[in-house]
């Protein structure tokens, strides 16, 4: 509560001083500190800094109803229920006018994502060619860029459609947001890595893998893209399966180096289909999986991008313990926060975890599933995995499951103990009937949202956790 | 609009210094009330601070930088103890967070979720609380003011008293079989396939304490039932080898063991001692703990019901059930009656706590001829008492049993009144049926139930009180 002090025309305004505003003919009274809570650069903070020469309220020619909502937001840091009368776009525009967009973002962004308590809140459906071929949510603010039918559509943190850029590619199969406004895209059908700028809606550069000394290097197509703060990594694959990873400087968009060139004549040296850069160690993790008549085979490799050396690798079948023979991995992902490698075994469907700080010849710990109702849920073929917020999300056919850790003590889990088979618990996120919607094709997290696309299903599911109970009145 | 919206603030008359009337400026709108009204909010609330500051400075109107419309609703709540009908224009969540700011959430709880507002005859299905994920609820627990914990699979989801906010934690259990709310943020949980009773912090999701029963065979101790009195926590344990069982009594606040009652070691073929208690109910009017357990074998269902005196550790009363054993049993403090639903007949029986010790204590409240036909109509039936009513689930429906107090007192041979109980089916035609009811619980002015294979909790309350 602000103590009532009589307003004087003193030049120095105290944060507890009261200020009157006239918004569109409706009078409001609040305090300087409330107006300034929107940040020093906001219009409201600027108003609060005006020396008071007369006692007439400041007039703002905007809608008073929306201002009521935004003033509540500034006072209590949460949006009142009356905000539902306005569209997200209206609120965002009005918040932008007053310069308090960051407050609105804070109040409307979803709480920390907990897979065991998440539900579908929206489905983003691009208006045309609605089958997403690739998407990225890596910006981390809850926004998503969707590649569909050769176009890239961007949806902002509000999940409102912001822009669509048509590229020269007809089928974008990999996309990476290398700068806030620049997307790197690649296609299975066309050669090269291409950069598109959203602010100008145009193509701003291309990278081709060329080697004048080797005639087999031509028409190299991009299969995976990852980025670090300074570089972009793209794996290229030629028609005759020669492949490599090009390291591209982010600011100049020029090739810096080439790492891991290989002939691609067997599973051990085919192109990486999935890449992740680990900020903590500066290591690039790449994996490749192929399946044929004799089951799955592939590799996981860790590169040091500066030297181009392989730091660690495992090949399956080949490495690993004999008890897991014939059960090579079908899918791999990295938890960059916890530095764990996860794999899904193709035959048993088990999840294997390896601590990246302690990798050896067989670092895998196979997680035991204690929940009897989940045991018979099939093998690991046709599965996708994504690690987000220290949880592993697995899509098996149409079912979405989350592997999460049980907090054991008040201070969380002690890492020193290493891990045991029972470290992670598995839970289904979707209901039985939801899993019939279509096979899950890709899962990616960003901004406390999980985005899920399904094969031959238009649009992308958006999952969020919520503190709201979602109680449905039936009276 | 508040009453003084039209008057300019400088034209507003300051009350006389000795006046009881207090003016408050909330977000630019003026309100007038009395010191007495403000002091109803309690000494720690913002209102009493406003009241103090207004008294200390006569010529200055206290200013509160909050929304005036929400304030006017909370002021009405302060004046009358009830929410005005215009509060329906707002989301309850807004009112709760605003009342938390002013420090008067307890008044809101009292007006909206008070257990004294429970109207058994006027309950309607009012709300569905969906549970995320694929597991259906296995156990639910409530607190006095209607906050709710739902165990589903290895997770526990907690709803606040308004049922508007929730949070979910992951536990070490595969499935929680018994759950008891100690406070809105602390619960005791146990399972028949997991060793130890865990006291869980439901906000942060960690185990505060694990209570184990040291059995002779040094095997694990699984939890069969949890109960509580205002001071004590009871847990029925069975050893992992299923050759001994016991009821442990803990202090509810310190969680230190107080005593152990009903310790059974099983050596011979005596079936009765091999049955652990699967339901523990405190009978506060008699200071007794009711413990019941049953076992289904080839010769039918057998069970026992015991009333324990905790201080002496003795069984005060015991009944062994061989024919038409209970499917579920409950005790009503206010009626002084134990109710059971028979597993064969599916009928409700009662026995008067004031007149225990008869050969066959049960008085059948339905068609007693059904006892003989060896069917098992009562399997899966649940019976719970709340207030002066007894709720018995049969399949997907609920029977509400209540005592009819007769004016003309006809004495029976033993000097006690013949008690008259009558039943009603709950709910409208459209609410009847549905999947089998698996759990029933009561809290605040609401009844909660879960159904087999349904991933939601049904909330029943009286429409006048519906939030």
Residues B38-49 have pLDDT tens digits of 888 888 888 888
Closest approach of chain B CAs to the CA of A425, in angstroms? Answer: 8
- Structure tokens belonging to residue B359: 């050969």
Residues A155-214 have pLDDT tens digits of 999 899 999 999 999 999 999 999 999 999 999 999 999 999 999 999 999 999 999 999
Decide if pLDDT at A138 tops 70: yes
- Bridge-based pairing state of the strands B21-26 and B63-64: parallel
Q: CATH 3.30.710.10 residue ranges in chain A?
A: 18-108
At residue A237, what are phi and psi to the nearest 5 degrees? -135, 125
Q: What angle do CA B435, A116, A369 make, to 5 degrees?
A: 90
Rounded distance between C-alpha atoms, residue A456 and residue A474, angstroms: 35
Handedness of CA A114, A115, A120, A124 (dihedral sign): positive
Q: What angle do CA B227, B228, B234 make, to 5 degrees?
A: 60
Instruction: Out of B28, B166, B205, name the one closest to residue A467 (CB).
Output: B166
- Residue B422, class by beta-carbon neighbours within 10 Å (0-12 exposed, 13-18 middle, 19+ buried)? exposed
Q: Identify the residue among A75, A116, A118 best suited for mutation to test binding to B, counting B beta carbons within 10 A and taking the highest.
A: A116
pLDDT of residue A4: 42
Of residues B51, B50, B52, B42, the one with CA closest to residue B105 = B42
Say if A93 is an interface residue toward chain B (CB within 8 Å). no
* B265-289 residues labelled b (16+ CB within 10 A) or e (exposed): ebeeeeeebbbbbbbbbbbeebebb
Show residues of chain B in contact with A80, CB under 8 Å: 67, 70, 90-91, 94
pLDDT of residue A8: 42
Indicate the DSSP class of residue A251: T
Rounded distance between C-alpha atoms, residue A455 and residue B328, angstroms: 49
DSSP string, A117-160: GEEEEEEE--SSS-S-SEEE-TTSSS-EEEEETTEEEEE-TT--
- Structure tokens belonging to residue A341: 């490698």
CB contact under 8 A, A117 and B126: no
pLDDT of residue A389: 93
Rounded distance between C-alpha atoms, residue A404 and residue A391, angstroms: 5
What is each CA distance from B340 to A86, B102, B365, B383, in whole angstroms?
55, 47, 10, 7
**Residue A97: pLDDT band by 50, 70, 90 thresholds?**
very high
CB contact under 8 A, B154 and A371: yes
Of residues A415, A381, A388, A383, the one with CA closest to residue A403 = A388
- Residue A180, class by beta-carbon neighbours within 10 Å (0-12 exposed, 13-18 middle, 19+ buried)? exposed
pLDDT tens string, chain B, 467 residues long: the values are 343 333 344 444 555 556 788 889 999 899 999 988 988 888 888 888 888 887 777 677 889 999 999 999 999 999 998 888 888 888 899 999 999 999 999 999 999 998 998 999 999 999 999 999 989 999 999 999 999 999 999 999 999 999 999 999 999 898 999 999 999 999 999 999 999 999 999 988 889 999 999 887 788 899 999 999 999 999 999 998 888 999 999 999 999 999 999 888 887 767 778 899 999 999 999 999 999 999 988 888 899 999 999 999 999 999 998 888 999 999 999 999 999 999 988 899 999 988 887 677 888 887 766 555 667 888 999 999 999 999 999 989 999 999 998 876 655 555 556 788 999 999 888 888 889 999 999 999 999 999 999 999 999 998 765 65
Q: State how far Cα A318 lies from the chain centre.
A: 33
* B90-116 residues labelled b (16+ CB within 10 A) or e (exposed): bbbbbbbbbbebbbbbebbbbbbbebe
- Structure tokens belonging to residue A348: 């048993």
Rounded distance between C-alpha atoms, residue A142 and residue A125, angstroms: 16
Rounded distance between C-alpha atoms, residue B60 and residue B62, angstroms: 6
Rounded distance between C-alpha atoms, residue B70 and residue B87, angstroms: 8
Residues B241-251 have pLDDT tens digits of 888 999 999 99
CB contact under 8 A, B459 and A471: yes
At residue B368, what are phi and psi to the nearest 5 degrees? -80, -10
- Residue pair A15/A3 in contact by the 8 Å Cβ criterion: no
Show residues of chain B in contact with A392, CB under 8 Å: none
Domain boundaries, chain B: 9-112, 121-130+324-467
Rounded distance between C-alpha atoms, residue B151 and residue B33, angstroms: 46
Q: How many CA atoms lie within 13 A of A81 on its CB side?
A: 16
Of residues A257, A255, A307, A305, the one with CA closest to residue A284 = A305
The mean per-residue pLDDT over the stretch A269-293 comes to: 93
Q: CATH 2.130.10.10 residue ranges in chain A?
A: 115-465
Show residues of chain B in contact with A79, CB under 8 Å: none
Three-class SS string for A350-395? CEEEEEHHHCCCCCCEECCCCCHHHCCCCCCCCEEEEEECCEEEEE
CB contact under 8 A, B204 and A407: yes
Rg (chain A; Cα; Å) = 26
Find out if CATH 3.40.720.10 is the number for domain A115-465.
no
pLDDT of residue B299: 81
Decide if pLDDT at A466 tops 50: yes
What is the SS3 assignment for A52? coil
CB contact under 8 A, B90 and A75: no
Q: Identify the residue among B14, B47, B170 best suited for mutation to test binding to A, counting A beta carbons within 10 A and taking the highest.
A: B170
Find out if CATH 3.10.180.10 is the number for domain B9-112.
no
Of residues B272, B264, B256, B199, the one with CA closest to residue B237 = B264
Residues A223-249 have pLDDT tens digits of 999 999 999 999 999 999 999 999 999
- Residue pair B250/B256 in contact by the 8 Å Cβ criterion: yes
Rounded distance between C-alpha atoms, residue B60 and residue B46, angstroms: 17
pLDDT of residue B368: 67
pTM of structure = 0.91
At residue B288, what are phi and psi to the nearest 5 degrees? -125, 155
What is each CA distance from B264 to A120, B18, B220, B270, in whole angstroms?
50, 73, 16, 11
Rounded distance between C-alpha atoms, residue A247 and residue A262, angstroms: 15
**Residue A378: pLDDT band by 50, 70, 90 thresholds?**
low
CB contact under 8 A, A475 and B133: no
Show residues of chain B in contact with A34, CB under 8 Å: 65
| Residue of A116 and A322 predicted with greater confidence | A116
Q: Which fold has domain A18-108?
A: Potassium Channel Kv1.1; Chain A (3.30.710)
Handedness of CA A35, A41, A47, A48 (dihedral sign): positive
CB contact under 8 A, B129 and A469: yes
Residues 6+ apart with CB under 8 A from B40: B47, B78, B107
Q: Identify the residue among A73, A471, A474, A475 best suited for mutation to test binding to B, counting B beta carbons within 10 A and taking the highest.
A: A471
pLDDT of residue B338: 94
- Structure tokens belonging to residue B224: 């069969």
Which residue is listed with tokens 């929306």? A66
- Residue pair A250/A178 in contact by the 8 Å Cβ criterion: yes
What is the SS3 assignment for A235? strand
The mean per-residue pLDDT over the stretch A418-422 comes to: 70
Rounded distance between C-alpha atoms, residue A127 and residue B201, angstroms: 46
DSSP string, A160-180: -EEEEEE-S-S---EEEEEET
pLDDT of residue A412: 42
Rounded distance between C-alpha atoms, residue B158 and residue B166, angstroms: 5
- The CATH-assigned architecture of domain B121-130+324-467 is 7 Propeller (2.130)
Show residues of chain B in contact with A370, CB under 8 Å: 154, 174
Residues B91-107 have pLDDT tens digits of 899 999 999 999 999 99
| Helix (H) / strand (E) containing A404 | strand A399-405
Residues 6+ apart with CB under 8 A from A188: A171, A173, A221, A223
CB contact under 8 A, B153 and A82: no
Closest approach of chain B CAs to the CA of A32, in angstroms? Answer: 10
Of residues B219, B224, B194, the one with CA closest to residue B207 = B194
Three-class SS string for chain B? CCCCCCCCHHHCCCCCCCCCEEEEEECCEEEEEEHHHHHCCCCCCHHHHHHHHHHHCCCCCCEECCCHHHHHHHHHHHHHCCCCHHHHHCCHHHHHHHHHHHCCHHHHHHHHCCHHHCCHHHEEEEEEEECCCCCCEEEEEECCCCCEEEEECCEEEEECCCCCEEEEEECCCCCCCEEEEEECCEEEEEECCEEEEEEEECCCCCEEEEECCCCCCCCCEEEEEEEECCCEEEEEEEECCCCEEEEEEEECCCCCEEEEEEEEECCCCCCHHHCCCCEEEEECCCCEEEEEEEEEECCEEEEEEEEEECCCCEEEEEEEECCCCEEEEEEECCCCEEEEEECCCCCEEEEEHHHCCCCCCCEECCCHHHHCCCCCCCCCCEEEEECCEEEEEECCEEEEEEEECCCCCCECCCCCECCEEEEEECCCHHHCCCCCEEEEEEECCEEEEEECCCCEEEEEEEHHHCC
- Structure tokens belonging to residue B42: 């309690």
CB contact under 8 A, A467 and B167: yes
pLDDT of residue B415: 53
């Amino acid at each position: 509560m602000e103590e009532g002090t009589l307003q004087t025309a003193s030049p120095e305004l105290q944060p507890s001083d009261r200020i009157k505003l006239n918004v569109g003919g409706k009078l409001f009274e609040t305090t300087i500190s409330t107006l300034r809570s929107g940040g020093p650069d906001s219009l409201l903070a600027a108003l609060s800094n005006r020396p008071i020469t007369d006692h007439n309220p400041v007039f703002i020619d905007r809608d008073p109803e929306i201002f009521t909502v935004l003033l509540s937001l500034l006072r209590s840091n949460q949006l009142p229920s009356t905000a539902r009368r306005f569209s997200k776009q209206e609120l965002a525009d009005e918040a932008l006018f007053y310069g308090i967009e960051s407050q609105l973002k804070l109040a409307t962004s979803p709480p920390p994502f907990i897979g065991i308590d998440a539900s579908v809140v929206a489905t983003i459906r691009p208006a045309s060619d609605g089958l997403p071929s690739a998407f990225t949510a890596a910006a981390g603010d809850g926004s998503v860029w969707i590649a569909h039918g050769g176009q890239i559509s961007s949806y902002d943190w509000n999940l409102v459609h912001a822009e669509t850029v048509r590229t020269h590619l007809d089928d974008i199969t990999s996309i990476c947001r290398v700068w806030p406004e620049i997307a790197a895209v690649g296609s299975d059908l066309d050669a090269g890595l291409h950069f598109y700028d959203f602010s100008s809606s145009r193509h701003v550069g291309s990278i081709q893998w060329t080697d004048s000394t080797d005639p087999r290097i031509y028409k190299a197509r991009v299969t995976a893209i990852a980025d670090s703060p300074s570089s972009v990594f793209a794996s290229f694959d030629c028609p005759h399966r020669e492949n490599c990873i090009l390291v591209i400087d982010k600011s100049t968009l020029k090739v810096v180096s080439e790492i891991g060139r290989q002939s691609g004549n067997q599973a051990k040296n085919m192109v990486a289909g999935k890449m992740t850069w680990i900020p903590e160690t500066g290591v690039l993790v790449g994996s490749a999986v192929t399946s044929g008549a004799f089951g799955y085979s592939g590799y996981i490799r860790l590169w040091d991008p500066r030297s181009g050396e392989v730091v660690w690798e495992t090949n399956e079948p080949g490495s690993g313990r004999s008890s897991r023979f014939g059960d090579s991995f079908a899918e791999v992902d990295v938890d960059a926060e916890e530095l764990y490698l996860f794999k899904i075994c193709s035959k048993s469907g088990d999840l294997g975890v390896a601590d990246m700080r302690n990798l050896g010849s067989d670092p895998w710990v196979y997680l035991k599933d204690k929940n009897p109702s989940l045991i018979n849920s099939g093998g690991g073929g046709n599965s996708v995995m994504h690690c987000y917020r220290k949880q592993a999300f697995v899509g098996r056919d149409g079912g979405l499951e989350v592997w999460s850790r049980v907090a054991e003590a008040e201070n969380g889990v002690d890492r020193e103990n290493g891990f045991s088979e029972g470290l992670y618990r598995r839970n289904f996120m979707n209901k039985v009937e939801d899993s019939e919607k279509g096979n899950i094709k890709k899962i990616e997290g960003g901004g406390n949202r999980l985005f899920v696309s399904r094969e031959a299903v238009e649009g992308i599911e958006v999952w969020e956790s919520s503190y709201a109970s979602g109680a449905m009145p039936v009276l | 609009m508040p009453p003084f919206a039209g008057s300019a603030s400088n034209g507003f008359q300051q009350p006389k210094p000795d006046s009881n009337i207090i003016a408050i400026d909330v977000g630019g709108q003026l309100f007038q009330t009395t010191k007495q009204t403000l002091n109803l909010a309690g000494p720690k609330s913002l209102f009493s601070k406003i009241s103090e500051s207004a008294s200390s400075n006569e010529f200055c109107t206290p200013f509160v930088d909050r929304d005036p419309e929400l304030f006017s609703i909370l002021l009405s709540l302060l004046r009358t103890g009830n929410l005005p009908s215009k509060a329906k224009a707002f989301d309850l969540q807004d009112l709760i967070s605003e009342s938390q700011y002013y420090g008067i959430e307890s008044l809101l709880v009292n007006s909206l979720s008070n257990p004294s507002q429970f109207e058994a005859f006027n309950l309607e299905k009012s709300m569905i609380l969906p549970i995320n994920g694929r597991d259906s609820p296995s156990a639910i627990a409530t607190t006095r003011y209607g906050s709710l914990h739902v165990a589903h699979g290895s997770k526990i989801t907690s709803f606040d008293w308004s049922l508007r906010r929730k949070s979910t934690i992951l536990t070490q259990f595969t499935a929680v079989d018994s759950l008891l709310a100690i406070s809105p943020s602390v619960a005791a949980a146990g399972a028949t396939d997991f060793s130890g009773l865990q006291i869980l912090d439901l906000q942060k999701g960690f185990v505060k304490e694990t209570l184990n029963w040291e059995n002779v065979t040094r095997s694990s101790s699984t939890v069969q039932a949890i109960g509580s009195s205002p001071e004590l926590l009871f847990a029925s344990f069975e050893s992992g080898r299923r050759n001994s069982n016991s009821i442990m009594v803990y202090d509810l606040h310190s969680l230190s063991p107080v005593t152990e009652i009903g310790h059974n070691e099983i050596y011979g073929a005596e079936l009765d001692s091999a049955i652990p208690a699967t339901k523990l109910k405190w009978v506060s009017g008699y200071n007794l703990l009711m413990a019941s357990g049953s076992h289904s074998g080839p010769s039918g269902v057998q069970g026992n019901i015991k009333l324990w005196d905790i201080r002496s550790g003795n069984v005060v009363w015991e009944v062994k059930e061989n024919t038409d054993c209970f499917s579920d049993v409950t005790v009503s403090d206010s009626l002084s009656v134990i109710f059971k639903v028979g597993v064969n007949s599916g009928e409700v029986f009662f026995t008067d706590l004031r007149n225990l010790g008869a050969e066959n204590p049960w008085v059948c409240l339905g068609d007693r001829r059904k006892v003989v036909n060896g069917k098992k109509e009562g399997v899966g039936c649940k019976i719970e008492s709340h207030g002066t009513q007894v709720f018995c689930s049969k399949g997907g429906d609920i029977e509400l049993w209540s005592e009819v107090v007769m004016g003309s007192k006809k004495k029976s041979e033993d000097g006690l009144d013949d008690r008259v109980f009558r039943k009603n089916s709950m709910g409208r035609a459209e609410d009847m049926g549905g999947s089998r009811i698996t759990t029933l619980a009561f809290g605040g002015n609401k009844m909660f139930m879960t159904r087999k294979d349904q991933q939601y909790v049904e909330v029943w309350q009286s429409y006048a009180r519906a939030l």
